[in-house]
Amino acid sequence: DSGVTQTPKHLITATGQRVTLRCSPRSGDLSVYWYQQSLDQGLQFLIQYYNGEERAKGNILERFSAQQFPDLHSELNLSSLELGDSALYFCASSARGGAQETQYFGPGTRLLVL
Amino acid sequence: GNSVTQMEGPVTLSEEAFLTINCTYTATGYPSLFWYVQYPGEGLQLLLKATKADDKGSNKGFEATYRKETTSFHLEKGSVQVSDSAVYFCALSDQTGNQFYFGTGTSLTVIP
């Protein structure tokens, strides 16, 4: 158990809809990362937050957004969903978001868009 | 730009066989390199890491050496066990810590 929790575990929705994925980092970790894992694109970095502020952006679509709240939990919002958004979404956390730090991954949220 | 290329799988080995999973990278500056492992139905977990050239990361019998001259970080284990069956990801964090790149993953199955 990494100490990172993600809810829900599974989500089934329809095209055009909007969903919110939630992540709670390990106790004491200030930085949160979001990743998308799909069969055709592998594991892709989406976005990183540190202590409530956006720190880095990867391949995140404009339809997607995220935030980190004062209690350090984070939410990833996916809107105008398309079939291709079906994937496993991972959250990870680290102490301060440094380049050399280990990231601790949650179990993921599996999203299926029908 | 930065990228990670790792050996395609799947790889199937007999118990006690020698394992090598190749990983090469492209990056500017001095990235940190990682191997993560994903067991079925679970999230990724760190296996080992190296943060500067010539560093060797090791854990649970696995080893990888950060080779800047060949831009490689190959994963090795001398004697695999059935419990090592998993997907292995090579990853890179650029020196700013602002971008993270993962390889496509290599699935390993160890048979008794």
Mean pLDDT, residues B65-82? 97
* Strands A104-105 and B19-21, sheet pairing: unpaired
Confidence of residue B7 (pLDDT cuts 50, 70, 90): confident
pLDDT on residue A39: 81
Chain B residue whose CA is closest to A104:
B45
At residue B74, does pLDDT exceed 90? yes
Q: In chain A, what residues touch B104 (CB-CB under 8 Å)? A: 42
Rounded to an integer, what distance in angstroms lies between the CA atom of residue A59 and that of residue A61? 6
Two tokens, residue B39: 């067991």
pLDDT, one tens digit for every residue, chain A (114 residues): 889 999 999 999 999 999 999 999 999 999 999 999 988 778 899 999 999 999 999 989 999 999 999 999 999 999 999 999 999 999 999 998 888 889 999 999 999 999
pLDDT on residue A83: 96
Q: In chain B, what residues touch A42 (CB-CB under 8 Å)? A: 102-105
Interface touch B94/A43, C-beta < 8 Å: no
pLDDT in tens, A78-92: 999 999 999 999 999
B32–A contact, CB cutoff 8 A: yes
At residue B22, does pLDDT exceed 90? yes
What's the 3-state SS for chain A? CCCCEEECCEEEECCCCCEEEEEECCCCCCEEEEEEEECCCEEEEEEEEECCEEEEECCCCCCEEEEECCCCCEEEEECCCCHHHCEEEEEEEECCCCCCCCCEECCCEEEEEC
User: Higher model confidence: residue B49 or residue B96?
Assistant: B49
Mean pLDDT, residues B77-100? 92
Confidence of residue B88 (pLDDT cuts 50, 70, 90): very high
Q: In chain B, what residues touch A108 (CB-CB under 8 Å)? A: 43
* CB-CB neighbours of A77 under 10 Å: 13
pLDDT in tens, B29-63: 889 999 999 998 888 999 999 999 999 999 999 99
pLDDT on residue A100: 87
pLDDT on residue A2: 85
Q: Average pLDDT, whole number, for chain B?
A: 94
